[in-house]
Amino acid sequence: MRAVRRLRDALHQADFVVLSTEPGPIEMRYADLEIPARYGILQTVGDTVGPGGLLRALRSIEVYDQFAQLIAEYCPRAWVINYTNPMTLCTAALQTGAADLKVFGCCHAVFETQAQLAGLVGKWFEVPGPPRHEIKVDVTGLNHFTWITAASWRGHDLLRILRDEIAMPGFFRSRANEARAAVRAEHWFKSPGLVGYDFFRRFGALGAAPDRHLVEFVPWYLTSEAELHRWGVVATPYAWRRRRVAAADFPVAHYAARGAGPE
């Protein structure tokens, strides 16, 4: 493995291209998150929908159009895998920029839901939790509004068993205390998965993305921070994101100062 200064050097005759970027410096997240918050718009992530998702898309689409042109020139037969959010729009921008590219978007969210179901299999069947690839799922939706409409393990219908599980008394009890503890510990990415299960209860399909993403697509979880915490979900604050980048082992400013870009 080696690093290169110019994207075209990395792309030359590549078989696979994996794109995972942060569009713009982290300070741009201020407009994504803090300004909407002044007007009562609560965002848990702000990278896919809502004001944050829209602004990230505006920062990304032009860059992804340039990526598409360069990939078409230097490795037109490569498989292009995009992980950058908003994933759906960035992937669409690649295909719009060069229609013949072999492009798909990918996200770890479905894999995590498979792993979650594998853990439940271990409990339900009193066996060691199987590897996630043994959980067979039917998936639909758009990132990060993803749904599992069928799930099985060795022929067992897991959603049928899950329906009985979530019907147990107290399953949907408030997780506000857990959420407040997560805020104190700065554990921004953990949640009990209640929102995905609530989707299943309401709509008959399991939410297959982290709760912090799912809540941004519907209005009733984000009416207040207290309501969000009731589901065990916390918002990732802009201030923490900025501190995280500032404390990173590699200084992002170093690359910005070099003028690194698609060229």
Q: How far apart are CA 46 and CA 36, in angstroms?
A: 10
Is there a catalytic annotation at residue 229?
no
Rg (CA), the chain: 20
Contact 208, 148 (CB under 8 A): yes
Contact 243, 24 (CB under 8 A): no
Strand-pair partners of 13: none
Strand-pair partners of 229: none
Determine the angle formed by the axes of helices 50-74 and 87-97, rounding to 10 degrees.
Answer: 30
CA dihedral 208, 213, 219, 220 (to 10 degrees): 70
Q: Give the residue from 78, 158, 163 showing the smallest Cα distance to 119.
A: 158
Q: Which two tokens stand for residue 59?
A: 């920062």
Q: Which of 12, 108, 133, 156 is catalytic?
A: 108
List, by residue number, the catalytic residues: 108
